[in-house]
Every structure is written in C-alpha cells, then in structure tokens.
Chains A and B, each alone.
Chain A
C-alpha cells in the first residue's frame, strides 16, 4: 500500500474493513515535523519525525472498537484487529454514525511544509536568533500534517494544516520569564515577540526587589499563559464526556445558566484559520462550527459528539472524537484595556505570568491548586514593586470564572506544555484567588 497519498491509503484500508463491520471510519495522517530545542543558550538537540498514523473506528451490533497504528503495514494490523469487535459487549455509548456534512478546511504555509518535509529547520534558527538573550531555553516546532478520513457514512474528506509553535524561557540571574506562541503560519515575529516577552519579564524581576508574599486572598492578574491553562480546564469541563464520567464541575448545569462574570466569553473555534486545531469536519464527519461555551457569563451548553449527544438528549456540536468529544481551538474575547491599564486597575495585587502542575483536589467542585513559575510580580498602586519566586494559586474554577473583572485588549496565541489546546486569549484580571506563599526556596 502507498503511504504517499493519505486518501489512497484510507480507501484501501476502508475496503479491508467494510465487509466485516456495520460501520467504520478510517483515518490516515501523514505527519512531518522538525523541532529545535534550546538549553543554556545553545541548541541542545534538533529532532525530526516522519509519522504515518492510521486510525480505525468500527462498530458491529452496537459494539465499539478503535485502533491506532504507526506501522509500515496498517493493512495487516487492521485485519488482525477486526476479530476483536465480535468479542466485545454492546456499548451503551453507541450511536449510529451521522450523515457527514461540512467541507474540509486547510491552512498550509509553504515554508513550514518544506522545512517539515526536509527535516531541516532552515532559516528559523537565524531568524529567531537566541544569542544575545543570555541563558535561553525553549523550543521551536514546525509541523506539516495531511490527513484523510473515509467512513461507511459517506465521509470522504481530507485536509492539510501546518503548525508553527514554540516557547522560550529566559533566565537573568535567578529570575526568569517564559512565553509561548502558536500559529498555522510561518511567523518568526511571534517567536521573537515571545523571546522578548520572556526576556522582559526576567529583566523586570531582576531589577525589582525580592519581596515576601503573605499567604491570603489577592486580586490577581493572570497572563495568557496562566489564564490559558485554567480556562482549558474550564473548557474541558464543558465536554459532555467529562460530565458523563463525573469529572466536571459543570455537571448538572443547563444552557442559559449564569456561571461566570459577564466579562467572560469563552469560545471553541475549530474554524479559526490561524490556529492549528483547524478543522472543517470532526472525526465522525459532522461539520464543525465556532461556538461559545460561555457567552458574557452565560453557559451555552456542553460540547458533544453524536454519542454523548444521544446520552444527554442533545445535538452533536461537531466535536467528535470517536468515543469522547474533543476540543480543537479555544478563544477568549478581548477586553478594552491595555496591559498597563490592567495593572492600574489591579492596583494592589499579584501578576502571575506562568504556572504549571495544576492539580484538582476535586474535579466535581473544580477545586484546584497550581504552582507559579517564572516571574511572579507584586503590584502596588498599579506599579510592579517586587518579585517573589514561587507561590501556589488556589481556588475553584466556578469562582475563578465568576470573578473575572477585566480583560486586556491584546490577545496572545498560546500553546505549550500547560496549554495543550491552541488558545487565543488576553490577560485576565480576577478579583480573588488564594495565594499560598511557598517556604523560602533556599
């Protein structure tokens, strides 16, 4: 079988399964990517990948099986898997595959495609020259995917998308700043802007006195890095899969319920052309659509595929995953203030620029704790007055979204370790979060 054309491969594999099952979808992804990793101001490794990924969704008599292969001979692998379905029990999740709709959306940048195919990062290392910024760590990823889906429901669509993504962490003395970006286009300015932002934050804390933060409740300005991490958890809680599995604080909520500040509008935007989660149709073939999860504080409904929609008496929102719904891209509406104005509105409080290790004490109540990293800036009278190194932010997701006071005008496209879904969002000022001051780091 040829792997040069994903449609030909998908067609060939679909013929192999069609006679043995009631329904199927076969997907073929050919993915080329190259990544440059930095540490201590030098390149630590350059990596490139060529992946041929075959997925198969099959049902028979209400039984569901799924397969994923990266193998040279997916035909043999699929044939070996087909008998599994006869051994399963009918699934309470099963719903017939829907009629496909929509049309493919693609976004390909030729520079990213060429670099990805060759495994050569090309000029990006020179265009985003980290030298001169001291101790820099981070990565730059260039990725080109082409895909095709064929299903027993008539689904026969493919798309291509490129991705330009990365982040930098810059150290100055013992202080650091970190920032990320993501796009479908080759935009070195985004990487340079992230490098500058990380440098700016590290330099700011380097110049400010080190202060002790007392544990307590604070007004907190969350950078897009931090807000992106926490709002991704809000969006995930709006997945019907999370609600059905008992992992959502939104369980029991209905469309129309007021759940957040009217300042907050959180959208799922699979059709945003500059975001690499771009999709014109979902994994079941349903047309995607941009939609609000929260619109001016009002819950607009759960995210569904046909399975969760059947279980919750709703309609698919074009967010299939074969078993559970999935999120493609997220976006938060901007506010009206410049970032400097947000600091003035904050007055006295904390500006958290990065975080990691968000953990939930209780998914059902959305109670979380997350650890700040990099610049944690104390703000007094609207001006940065000092820095602290590590603290915990604690709260609950319901209270977090209720307490959104203001948002910045400028938005940043973020994806990194702690923001796994491409998200375009502003700075976000919240009126109250718990801040636990860590014991002195040394």
Chain B
C-alpha cells in the first residue's frame, strides 16, 4: 500500500515540473471468482490489480500516467510521464483543461460488512453458492434447461486519492456479485436469460440480492416465454413496465445523456453523444418523471462517499418533474460550465483516468400500487423482464425486447406474450408516463465507457410505471 505521504511527494514533483495541477491515486482491487457450469465448479480465479495513477495539467493540456510498479523510482518516473503527457496534450489545444473550484474532501471511510469477506473461508463461500445453485428447480416440462452458468465474484477496492489542492481521501469498498446465464429449449424454440445481482458489502449480499429466488424466477420466465406465451401484439397501446426495465431505461436514456463529458463531445468517438447538447433545461417528460443519480445509497453497487477527484458525493437530480435538470460533472467538465463538480468522477482501476460516470440512477417512486397501475388499462401490455435492449449513441431511440410479458385487458393481467418489442424515442417514452408506482427496486449492472474501456459497477432503479399510448411491435 502507498500512503498519503508518499503520494504527495510525487504530486509535488509534478508541480515542480511546471504543472498547474497534480493528482495521485493508489488504487488496488483484489478479487476472487468461482465459475460454475451446470452445477459443477469449473475453476476459481484470484486477481490483484494494484497500481498508482497520476494526472497533471500543463498549459491546459491534460496528462495521465500509471504504473503497477510501486517502487519509489517507478512512481517518480510515472509522475514525470504524467507531466510529459500533459505537455504533449498542450500541443493541439483549443479550449484546454481546467479544474473547477469545488468542495474537496479529507476523509477515511469504509463500507461495513455484516459478514466480512475476509472472515469467511473459501470453502464456505463455495459451499454456500453451490447449495444455492442446487436448490433451484430446473424441471419445467416440456422445457429443458440445456446449460446454466453461474459466476460468483467478490472484490475489495481500496483507494487513496491526493491532489495538489488538499484532497486526502482513503476508501475501502467490498462488493459481491453473482452473474448467471440460463439457456433453455422447448421443441424447436430456444431462449436464454442472463442476470446480474450485486451490491456493496460482505457475504450478506448473497441473501440481500435473493439469488436463489431470482434464478428460480428466471427459469420460470423462460418457461413462460418458450411454452406458454402467444405471439406479441402490435400497435399503439398502454404499457406497464416493471422496475427492471424502468431502471435500465433511466440508465440508458437519462443517465448516460446527462454525462457532461458526453454532452461536450469528449466521448464522441467512443460512448457517443447526447441529446442534452441540443435540449437544455426544457421539459422532456411528464410531470410524473423525476430521475436521480445517487452514489450515497448504503449497500448499493455504485456506492461511494467521495469521488476519485476527492469531491464529496451527493444525490444529483437529472430530471425534475419532467424537466431536464443537472448534468453529471467531474471537475474538468464543471469548469467548462462554470459550476462546481457534483462528484461524478470515477475510475475503474489504476489504469483509468477519472471520467464522468453514473453511480445509482433511478426514477423516483410515486404513490401507485401495481394493481392501480393495471386496473386503469383497457388494452395494453405488462412488460416484466427484458431479454435484449440497445440504444443509439445520441441516446434518443431505445428498444427493449420482453422475455416475460402479459396482455392487459380491462384492468386484468391475461395471457403471456413473447418477445414484445417496445421502441420509442426518449421524449415519447418519458412524456407518456402517466402513473408511477411506489415500489422502488434496483438491479445491478456494469456500465461501459471510456478508452481504454472502464467497466463500472452501478445500480439502476425505478418502480413500476405506466406509459400511455406507445408503439409496441
């Protein structure tokens, strides 16, 4: 481990070399993974991704350098490379980079584990996960589960962030995740369902995410899709969406386009652009729609209290009663907008620069029960789970394909329908929301962005909601 003192020494060397800003981050993530295939343990792996990252700003140019060699000589050399990189960047500049004045932290914090990962033996972890897998009933005649894969992963992420402006933040965040894929067939029909369940914390996460129940429910969903469901409806109708799809839509259609670096074009060749470069503070949704991104939710997969620039985390309002509100900022983008950072700088590991990222993005709950959402629908569809989705890089046109869905007639759930497709632009989607449930739920995901790509743990959430008159095809 590298502490504050050693890191600061190298930050000072970046200033001595002429930088206007220097930053260092010791970043270590240790992990353990088990892979099960069809109930059998295939293998286990461990990882230790540890190193130090430096950033420097020189004449408006931004430089980044990292090393996994923690010797003092290597750290000194990496700090020097960060300055040299910043000088290289300053060669082709128009606007240049500045760091916005923002609240900066000095703190130590750690996620408390009810069942600390380091206190539970490897044998016990394998046994617990193995027993959970075995407890699932895979028999659903005439459907046959042809393959199922389960990946258990735990990580402990430890960071020390310092900069030339007084940041001193040390954090420790353990996380547990279970990813699985189930492939099934019935006659000529075949389908698969993957799912990811994850949170920050210790081994208690396995119980909190209800792995066994979720896995069983997904087996049932495949059975409904393959054996019971009828062909999907087409046309304009009301749609009730389950939290799994609402959360994904908030992440893709509201969270990503609210990333200020995307709005400013810094991700244009990678993760793409944003409709928020065109639409500023106008109404884009119904007054029922309020969307937040909040890193401070205890136990969440995207939890943190200080971002990777040392800015104290807080809840951000992305849409306020239908109107576009805050963007997500790191200090670089905040400087362009003349605002303070709202603590959205995150980096995957020591090889990653801190860029603007989501944490836990969700639609705020309303006051409807599920029954109330359905009872007012004359003819429509209830979309409970999706099997596929995608969205354009402007974040305007999303498509969701249902794994499990039901027709709604005269306020009652009726027969299941397979592969329902919901495709709408962001304004149509958000403007059609006329009722919002009170049952806020979260699902876990790994968000992608950056170059080199930076996978990032996030939660996505929302309650059940009702859309009026959208196109289903």
Residues in chain A within 8 A of chain B (CB atoms) = 3, 34-53, 63-72, 77, 81, 84, 87-89, 91-93, 118-121, 125, 130-131, 135, 137-139, 167-169, 171, 178, 244-247, 323, 356-365, 369-373, 390, 392, 417, 436, 438-442
With contacts A65-B44, A169-B269 taken as known, whether A417 is within 8 angstroms of B453 at the C-beta atoms is yes
Pick the interface stretch among B157-165, B227-235, B321-329, B393-401: B393-401
B393 touches A371 (CB 8 A): yes
B425 touches A441 (CB 8 A): yes
A369 touches B269 (CB 8 A): no
CB distance from A191 to the nearest CB of B (A): 13
What residues on A are CB-neighbors of B268 within 8 Å? 39-40, 137, 169, 171
A37 touches B451 (CB 8 A): yes
What residues on A are CB-neighbors of B71 within 8 Å? 72
Q: Which partner residue on chain B sits nearest A81 by CB separation? A: B46
Digitize B66-103: 1 where CB-to-A-CB distance is under 8 Å, 0 elsewhere.
11111100100010011011101111111111000000
B50 touches A66 (CB 8 A): no
Q: Which partner residue on chain B sits nearest A44 by CB separation? A: B266
What residues on A are CB-neighbors of B396 within 8 Å? 390, 438-439, 441-442
What residues on B are CB-neighbors of A47 within 8 Å? 63-65, 85, 353
What residues on B are CB-neighbors of A88 within 8 Å? 41, 43-44, 126
For the complex, is B146 an interface residue (Cβ under 8 Å from A)?
yes
For the complex, is B123 an interface residue (Cβ under 8 Å from A)?
yes
With contacts A69-B47, A439-B424 taken as known, whether A370 is within 8 angstroms of B86 at the C-beta atoms is no
For the complex, is B278 an interface residue (Cβ under 8 Å from A)?
yes
Pick the interface stretch among B3-11, B17-25, B366-374, B383-391: B383-391
What residues on B are CB-neighbors of A39 within 8 Å? 264-269
- If over half of A's interface residues share one DSSP class (helix, strand or loop), that class is named, otherwise mixed; here it is strand
What residues on A are CB-neighbors of B92 within 8 Å? 38, 42-43, 125, 130-131
For the complex, is B290 an interface residue (Cβ under 8 Å from A)?
no
Digitize B44-62: 1 where CB-to-A-CB distance is under 8 Å, 0 elsewhere.
1111111100000000011
For the complex, is B122 an interface residue (Cβ under 8 Å from A)?
yes
CB distance from B452 to the nearest CB of A (A): 8
A42 touches B95 (CB 8 A): yes
A119 touches B85 (CB 8 A): yes
What residues on B are CB-neighbors of A49 within 8 Å? 65-67, 351
Q: Which partner residue on chain A sits nearest B2 by CB separation? A: A72
What residues on A are CB-neighbors of B74 within 8 Å? 50
A91 touches B41 (CB 8 A): yes
B425 touches A439 (CB 8 A): yes
For the complex, is B183 an interface residue (Cβ under 8 Å from A)?
yes
A67 touches B46 (CB 8 A): yes
Q: Give bound CA distance, A43 to B387, whole Å.
A: 39
Q: Which partner residue on chain A sits nearest B68 by CB separation? A: A70
CB distance from B231 to the nearest CB of A (A): 15
Q: Per a CB cutoff under 8 Å, which of B85, B190, B424 touches A365?
A: B190
For the complex, is B42 an interface residue (Cβ under 8 Å from A)?
yes
For the complex, is B413 an interface residue (Cβ under 8 Å from A)?
no
For the complex, is B192 an interface residue (Cβ under 8 Å from A)?
yes
Chain B contact-residue range equals 35 or more
CB distance from A210 to the nearest CB of B (A): 15
Q: Which partner residue on chain A sits nearest B80 by CB separation? A: A119
Q: Per a CB cutoff under 8 Å, which of A118, A131, A373 touches B392?
A: A373
B93 touches A43 (CB 8 A): yes
For the complex, is B270 an interface residue (Cβ under 8 Å from A)?
yes
CB distance from A29 to the nearest CB of B (A): 11
Q: Per a CB cutoff under 8 Å, which of B46, B64, B190, B270 touches A46?
A: B64
What residues on B are CB-neighbors of A171 within 8 Å? 268
B123 touches A87 (CB 8 A): yes
A45 touches B63 (CB 8 A): yes
A439 touches B47 (CB 8 A): no
What residues on B are CB-neighbors of A84 within 8 Å? 44, 46, 122
CB distance from B38 to the nearest CB of A (A): 9
Q: Give bound CA distance, A139 to B126, whole Å.
A: 43
For the complex, is B181 an interface residue (Cβ under 8 Å from A)?
yes
For the complex, is B419 an interface residue (Cβ under 8 Å from A)?
yes
For the complex, is B147 an interface residue (Cβ under 8 Å from A)?
yes
A42 touches B49 (CB 8 A): no
For the complex, is B469 an interface residue (Cβ under 8 Å from A)?
no
B122 touches A87 (CB 8 A): yes
What residues on A are CB-neighbors of B90 within 8 Å? 43
Q: List 24 A-B contacts (CB under 8 A).
A: A40-B94, A42-B96, A43-B89, A43-B90, A44-B97, A45-B64, A45-B89, A69-B50, A81-B46, A87-B122, A125-B88, A168-B269, A171-B268, A244-B147, A245-B181, A246-B183, A357-B391, A369-B401, A371-B392, A371-B393, A438-B425, A439-B396, A439-B424, A442-B275
What residues on B are CB-neighbors of A72 within 8 Å? 50, 68-71
For the complex, is B191 an interface residue (Cβ under 8 Å from A)?
yes
Q: Give bound CA distance, A46 to B84, whole Å.
A: 9
Q: Give bound CA distance, A43 to B64, whole Å.
A: 13
What residues on A are CB-neighbors of B81 within 8 Å? 48, 119
Q: Give bound CA distance, A365 to B183, whole Å.
A: 11
What residues on B are CB-neighbors of A370 within 8 Å? 390
Q: Which partner residue on chain B sits nearest A34 by CB separation? A: B85
Q: Give bound CA distance, A130 to B92, whole Å.
A: 9
Q: Give bound CA distance, A121 to B61, whole Å.
A: 14
Digitize B260-299: 1 where CB-to-A-CB distance is under 8 Å, 0 elsewhere.
0000111111101001001000000000000000000000
Q: Give bound CA distance, A263 to B207, whole Å.
A: 53
Q: Per a CB cutoff under 8 Å, which of A46, A51, A89 touches B68?
A: A51
What residues on B are CB-neighbors of A64 within 8 Å? 42-44
CB distance from A398 to the nearest CB of B (A): 12
What residues on B are CB-neighbors of A93 within 8 Å? 37, 42-43
A43 touches B91 (CB 8 A): yes
For the complex, is B35 an interface residue (Cβ under 8 Å from A)?
yes
Q: Give bound CA distance, A55 to B76, whole Å.
A: 26
With contacts A51-B351, A438-B425 taken as known, whether A139 is within 8 angstroms of B269 at the C-beta atoms is yes
What residues on A are CB-neighbors of B272 within 8 Å? 356, 373
For the complex, is B185 an interface residue (Cβ under 8 Å from A)?
yes
A364 touches B388 (CB 8 A): no
A67 touches B62 (CB 8 A): no
Q: Which partner residue on chain B sits nearest A70 by CB separation? A: B68
Task: Name the residue in A77, A88, A92 with the highest tally of chain B Cβ atoms < 10 Å from its Cβ.
Answer: A88
Q: Give bound CA distance, A386 to B95, whole Å.
A: 35
A138 touches B269 (CB 8 A): yes
A247 touches B68 (CB 8 A): no
With contacts A40-B94, A167-B269 taken as known, whether A363 is within 8 angstroms of B393 at the C-beta atoms is no
What residues on B are CB-neighbors of A70 within 8 Å? 48-51, 68, 350
What residues on B are CB-neighbors of A66 within 8 Å? 43-46
Q: 5 additional contacts, CB 8 Å, given A92-B42, A363-B192, A373-B393?
A: A40-B266, A245-B183, A247-B183, A390-B392, A417-B270
Q: Give bound CA distance, A52 to B350, whole Å.
A: 12
Q: Per a CB cutoff under 8 Å, which of B40, B275, B390 touches A369?
A: B390
Q: Per a CB cutoff under 8 Å, which of A40, A46, A50, A246 touches B63?
A: A46
For the complex, is B428 an interface residue (Cβ under 8 Å from A)?
yes
What residues on A are CB-neighbors of B353 within 8 Å? 45, 47
Top 8 nearest A-B pairs by Cβ distance?
A246-B147, A246-B183, A137-B269, A64-B43, A137-B268, A70-B68, A46-B85, A119-B81
What residues on B are CB-neighbors of A65 within 8 Å? 43-46
B41 touches A46 (CB 8 A): no
What residues on B are CB-neighbors of A45 within 8 Å? 62-64, 85, 89, 97, 353
A119 touches B48 (CB 8 A): no
